[in-house]
């Protein structure tokens, strides 16, 4: 990783250079193939107040560059804020790269499943289920259930083991087959 430190309208002391270098070294923990980091530190005066501006240009291999610009009255605070923003951006890129990995063609071929075999395996499996339809019910109970629900009809077996249908008629009354 190439590191370039530049001072505009400001002389970079050894303490500032050391702080910048140690801050930039923290960016390597994301394993993002950083090619170079350009740090531009400048002092500006606006409306009679002096403040420091720190700009980081981080060039990454096979990805877009990350540009962070931070203003603050204190130079060290501006450096710390800019580095934390750069770490956040690199962490997002790293997480996106890890969780959104592309599946290669060889991996898809290795996971190839024969659909005919899986369908046949599913057809052979019988799962017994006891439905409420086969339990004998009283007509009055089914009528109350039909009134409470928004259904138009209910199919059930009565106590004489006959399949019956209770339905709502157009005139608002109920019919029974």
Residues 95 and 136 both lie in one domain: no
Within a domain: residue 117?
A: no
62 Ramachandran zone, left/alpha/beta (phi>0; psi -120 to 50): left
**What pLDDT is stored for residue 114 in this prediction?**
65
**What pLDDT is stored for residue 130 in this prediction?**
58
Please give the model's pTM, rounded to 2 decimal places: 0.55
**What pLDDT is stored for residue 76 in this prediction?**
94
Residues 7 and 70 both lie in one domain: yes
Number of domains in the chain: 2
Residues 71 and 29 both lie in one domain: yes
pLDDT per position in the chain (177 positions), as tens?
899 999 999 999 999 999 999 999 999 888 888 999 999 999 998 888 899 999 999 999 888 899 999 999 999 999 999 999 999 999 998 888 877 766 666 666 666 666 666 666 666 666 665 555 567 888 888 888 888 887 888 888 888 888 888 898 888 888 888
Within a domain: residue 121?
A: no
Give me the domain span that covers residue 74: 2-99
Residues 150 and 78 both lie in one domain: no
CA 126 from chain centre, in angstroms, equals: 38
Q: How many Cα atoms occupy the beta-carbon half-sphere of 149 within 13 Å?
A: 13
Report the length, in residues, of the chain: 177
Provide CB contacts within 8 A for 145, sequence distance 6+. 154
Q: What's 53's DSSP letter?
A: E
**What pLDDT is stored for residue 122 in this prediction?**
65
């Amino acid at each position: 990783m190439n590191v370039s430190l530049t001072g505009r309208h400001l002389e970079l002391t050894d303490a500032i250079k050391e702080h910048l270098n140690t801050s930039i070294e923290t960016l390597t923990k994301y394993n993002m193939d950083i090619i170079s980091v350009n740090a531009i530190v400048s002092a500006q005066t606006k409306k009679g107040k002096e403040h420091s501006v720190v700009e980081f240009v981080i060039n990454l291999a096979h990805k877009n560059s990350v540009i962070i610009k931070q203003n603050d009255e204190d130079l060290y605070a501006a450096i710390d804020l800019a580095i934390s923003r750069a770490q956040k951006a690199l962490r997002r890129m790293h997480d996106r790269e890890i969780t959104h990995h592309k599946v290669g063609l060889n991996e898809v071929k290795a996971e190839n499943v024969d659909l005919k075999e899986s369908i046949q395996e599913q057809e052979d499996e019988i799962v017994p289920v006891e439905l409420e339809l086969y339990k004998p019910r009283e007509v009055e109970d089914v009528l109350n259930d039909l009134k409470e629900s928004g259904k138009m009809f209910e199919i059930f077996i009565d106590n004489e083991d006959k399949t019956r249908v209770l339905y709502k008629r157009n005139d608002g009354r109920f019919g029974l087959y």
